[in-house]
Structure 1
């Protein structure tokens, strides 16, 4: 008898706790855009099931750090997670790791939804995925699948209460409006918390947050072979104290969660994503169409501190109404796949996007402007930039079974992209109703890029439950144009080229002892040419990107799952990465600095996660079960600047969860970062530091009907 439970903290739809199982859960994934058994795919894929999302208590994508080998994700202070896999990391608004939610590409950091909501499964493909996913999937792909409505009526409600004023409430239902024809799904979350930081300027909480989100489905079954699904997702976050940063690692660790900023404001962050999916299951082939529209409007209600200090030095103003600082993206994908019984497996499709990104913000220099190096004071530099982009891609991948033991895989993708950007810089002194002159006249530029992304591989079925594979793949990150900065010495519209990677991977997937033990290992080696190296321009926090080096990344990974004793489950993931610049020359203080031999940013040299969970049935009628879980997370040494001066030494984190589970309700107590370890989760190259979350604890009460 199974107990279907709501999904913890993700608007919990049905996740399953059952009587103690004798075998590991078999997992089917869609990582290669068709349904396949996880253990039979010749790609390094980590799958986090709905039950595991509950077990790990995952509320945000950054929390999958180390659950997936060689994956690191962190919040730089504004809620937009920066993610690296195998030393390939996001260093600008073009991510290096692509994220898809229900088949929709979360195009950039602006439109990206980091909150986990109503999750069926999270799949993480490690290594370049250029053939099937194209641009900006150099490091890999995070593929998030939420639960869809069916013919069963069900509902749930959940409350989470914790320290720091944490409150998280979720509720939802699924229902057939017309049985076997029209299904409806509605889920929603409201959450809030007090700030982790204290602002010494006014002795108040800093980074207090609250938000509301929803995920709505309407699915129409046209016929046994055709279905149409409309999905709408929205997130409305409010943050009173964005960018809780402290200058310097030493000061941040000696005085944790304390800062001193005079310009305090509320960030308004509204994201709206909608999609229309058409699915056809045919006798000869399958077809799908995914049409999506995404938008994000982010602004500060009043000026935000740009010098992260109590002086009246620099503030940033970007509240210019609904037509500015609102990113809009349209995407369309058509895909064809072979049927499950076909001996020749193939996938083919086309993908296009259109981007509109109007940006307007003012860098204001106040009474203390001289303290930040400005020769003048009490004036604003207004930067206006309108960016547009368009891209088109064609792709195909196929696998052919040579015999019972050997299978060959090959694929190719072509991407074309063009970008246009127009900029204007204006000077406006305080008291003047309009700008008085242009420091950067109205000008524009265009750039276009294209790339071929091939893939070849060989799969060897050594035995029924033992497979070996070797693959070569090429990754591609789009080029672009730089924004306009307040500093006249920083040239606007500087074009930088795409970044390319070549990756070789050797892997082995194995299941032993009647599916009681699963062991997957992989070795990888990657070279990255025309590496896009970012330089952060302050105070307006604009990233200027240049092609400045060559990076090599190599390493190993292990994933292990076991049922050593009845009721006891063990999961262990570990990854080792050595990512080093072989050539790297950057501009600094009017000269050139050679940084060859330096390590890659945001890349721990080791990630490790050990989880032990024990489930003890107390009674069958009524069903009552006790559970206890412990997690040990280890992150190795990492750096946050190209010169490797800003460093976080290795550290450990401990998490725990325990509670009582019945057929219709459960109560769970949880704690994260037990021991209250202080560590740097993100830092900027100019020295501003954002700490990882402190010790948090609370309880979850969940009911389901």
Structure 2
């Protein structure tokens, strides 16, 4: 680890915090990116928030395919990733086992993707992705207590453009897609459409029947956008998204104990699968006024998940168990915003947000060898809420910027559980009223250096224990809260050719939601019995010393622990102490492209008792290419040195842990044609 840190700091590199263009300039500077982190447009350097920005070019250059890939390029951002759960862990704040909501929010075109099951979304035809660190409750509300990942898709305009692309790699992995956009009526009506298809045999084999496609996958994503500008002040768009996934998930294995198997080998007697389908619609209406701008965002989201898993993880016919989980999620939301359109001494934003959400869970646990259904909780949860929020920044002496924000957030929940297998019934109504303030102070030491400090509150909503044999007394749990205190610096030197970002943070976590086993009732419950804290720092550097050459790196340190409760001094799960990335990229005027990325993380634990763990690991990715005006071709390899590590690990029984192997070394070729 010490060697890796030395390499990062010695390289004077940067994280993916800016935009790299394929056109070259002898006097090229690092590009200043406009972000919407605070729900208004601003330069990333002027925002007193630790935020990483990934442009469409950077996403393409790095070979980033989804949110899981994205998190590897952002210090102190990790993801508990398996076929079902995609819990985003920012600054060491995870959720509990069997949760449904992540402490980090995911937004696509300002629409919340509320369940963490849907948060490893595919990135295609996007304009940029932003990762905001620290509580974002003032502007985003519930379930953003550790941060937000904000994805902005591409909007069509007057320029007609399109591309088709194909990618083929190891394990018969095929990726292909196309997108097109342009005017239907110049300056008035525009259209965009994109589709992406992926298919892979996977890299696991089932030793029981020598099936080498036990973890194959197939997925289709599509998006359409219709944009209308009836007058100069109005901008109206409708975006629809579609997903259909049909995967086998026979890759979970016992990583230790008497039935442990080697990496990428399993022994199963169930045909495990994961099917996902859904669609969303977003209507955006924006009016730009002389002094006040208006934005309306209306969203509808529908998604279904159907998963079957082998519960005993072995092929013993005398002890055959399986479980099936079906989820149906529907959400409708409406947000209105008013914000100042002039860059004067006082900039402000005010808004209203309301939503309706219906979540249905059907979990069935069968002992197949005995023809017994152990449990079958069927849970319906209806959630509604609304919020009023506002934030303003006042500038003094053109150097000192004072920011204050406040949000009132109200939420009602109705939960009902019926389990015919256990002849049980639970029903409870919940209601929350939360006040979420934020304060920030920023000072411009010069035109290129800013220091800031901030304090902000966030919360992760309470909910229902719909999975772990609840009784009336253990059916619900309350919210958890965070207060984050941060000190940071953002700077540009060498006439914009070197950029540095540094932040130090301390986060207090109250009423931490944890899963506990009650020895008196022999039941699992979710409680708010713990207090925790997370503290650390982030350092990001980037430079472009000569034409075409970009060097970049990021380093994060997090010490995330329980400070009270049964697990006092234990580390929070899925919270590596160190995470880092470093890379170098060169793009010549003659069209040659090369890039190398180093990414790694320290050891982490998979449970609050700190019993199961993953050791520290690092990976290297390489890309070589040749780029012309209308076509590109690349060869690539991910995980060059075939590092073995787990993206998921958790206790299975008293002797064993269950885990999911990360991808081995893969190689491939990618072709792009633009028109």
TM-score normalised to structure 2 length: 0.92
| Relative contact order higher in (CA < 8 Å, ≥ 6 apart) | 2
SS at match of 2:589: strand
Q: Which whole-Å CA distance do the structure 2 matches of 1:578 and 1:113 have between them?
A: 25
2:86 is matched with 81
SS at match of 1:158: strand
Query: 1:469 aligned to 2:452?
Result: yes
What's the CA shift for 1:611? 0.8
Report if the CA contact (8 A) 1:15-1:50 is conserved.
no
Gap regions ≥5 residues in structure 2? 1-18
Query: 1:268 aligned to 2:249?
Result: no
Q: Which whole-Å CA distance do the structure 1 matches of 2:447 and 2:184 have between them?
A: 44
Q: Which whole-Å CA distance do the structure 1 matches of 2:568 and 2:325 have between them?
A: 38
Report if the CA contact (8 A) 2:363-2:467 is conserved.
no
2:670 is matched with 700
Alignment of 1:651-690 (within 5 A): 651-686=617-652, 687-690=657-660
Corresponding residue to 2:581 among 575, 593, 609: 609
What's the CA shift for 1:316? 2.1
Mark the CA change 1:46 to 1:253 in structure 2 (over 3 Å): closer, same or farther. Answer: farther
Q: Which whole-Å CA distance do the structure 2 matches of 1:174 and 1:492 have between them?
A: 55
Alignment of 1:510-659 (within 5 A): 510-534=491-515, 544-585=525-566, 595-618=567-590, 625-659=591-625
SS at match of 2:68: helix
CA offset digits 1:439-498 (Å, max 9, x no partner): 33444111111211111111111101000000011111101121154x47x657622111
Query: 1:417 aligned to 2:411?
Result: yes
CA offset digits 1:348-406 (Å, max 9, x no partner): 11111111122233221222x5xxxxxxx544643221111111111111000121221
Q: Which whole-Å CA distance do the structure 1 matches of 2:258 and 2:639 have between them?
A: 21
SS at match of 1:348: strand
What's the CA shift for 1:106? 1.1
Corresponding residue to 2:311 among 295, 306, 314: 306
2:241 is matched with 233
Q: Which whole-Å CA distance do the structure 2 matches of 1:498 and 1:381 have between them?
A: 27
Report if the CA contact (8 A) 1:76-1:243 is conserved.
no
2:263 is matched with 256
Corresponding residue to 1:198 among 189, 199, 205: 205
Report if the CA contact (8 A) 1:111-1:271 is conserved.
no
1:209 is matched with 217
CA offset digits 1:298-330 (Å, max 9, x no partner): 114xx54222221353222457xxxxx321111
Mark the CA change 1:492 to 1:266 in structure 2 (over 3 Å): closer, same or farther. Answer: farther
Q: Which whole-Å CA distance do the structure 1 matches of 2:536 and 2:259 have between them?
A: 31
CA offset digits 1:164-198 (Å, max 9, x no partner): 11100011211211221111100001110112211
Query: 1:459 aligned to 2:442?
Result: yes
What's the CA shift for 1:253? 8.9
SS at match of 2:269: coil
Report if the CA contact (8 A) 2:135-2:484 is conserved.
yes
Q: Which whole-Å CA distance do the structure 2 matches of 1:138 and 1:213 have between them?
A: 29
Report if the CA contact (8 A) 1:607-1:635 is conserved.
yes
1:23 is matched with 29
1:373 is matched with none
Corresponding residue to 2:433 among 447, 450, 453: 450
RMSD after superposition: 2.1
Report if the CA contact (8 A) 2:426-2:475 is conserved.
no
Q: Which whole-Å CA distance do the structure 1 matches of 2:495 and 2:105 have between them?
A: 35
1:49 is matched with 55
Alignment of 1:298-337 (within 5 A): 298-300=305-307, 304-311=309-316, 312-317=319-324, 325-337=327-339
Q: Which whole-Å CA distance do the structure 1 matches of 2:203 and 2:453 have between them?
A: 46
Q: Which whole-Å CA distance do the structure 2 matches of 1:60 and 1:583 have between them?
A: 36
What's the CA shift for 1:340? 3.4
What's the CA shift for 1:412? 0.6
1:393 is matched with 387
Gap regions ≥5 residues in structure 1? 1-13, 320-324, 370-376, 428-438, 586-594, 619-624
Q: Which whole-Å CA distance do the structure 1 matches of 2:285 and 2:100 have between them?
A: 30
Q: Which whole-Å CA distance do the structure 2 matches of 1:253 and 1:667 have between them?
A: 42
Q: Which whole-Å CA distance do the structure 1 matches of 2:48 and 2:360 have between them?
A: 42
Report if the CA contact (8 A) 1:110-1:327 is conserved.
no
CA offset digits 1:531-562 (Å, max 9, x no partner): 0113599xxxx995211211111101111010
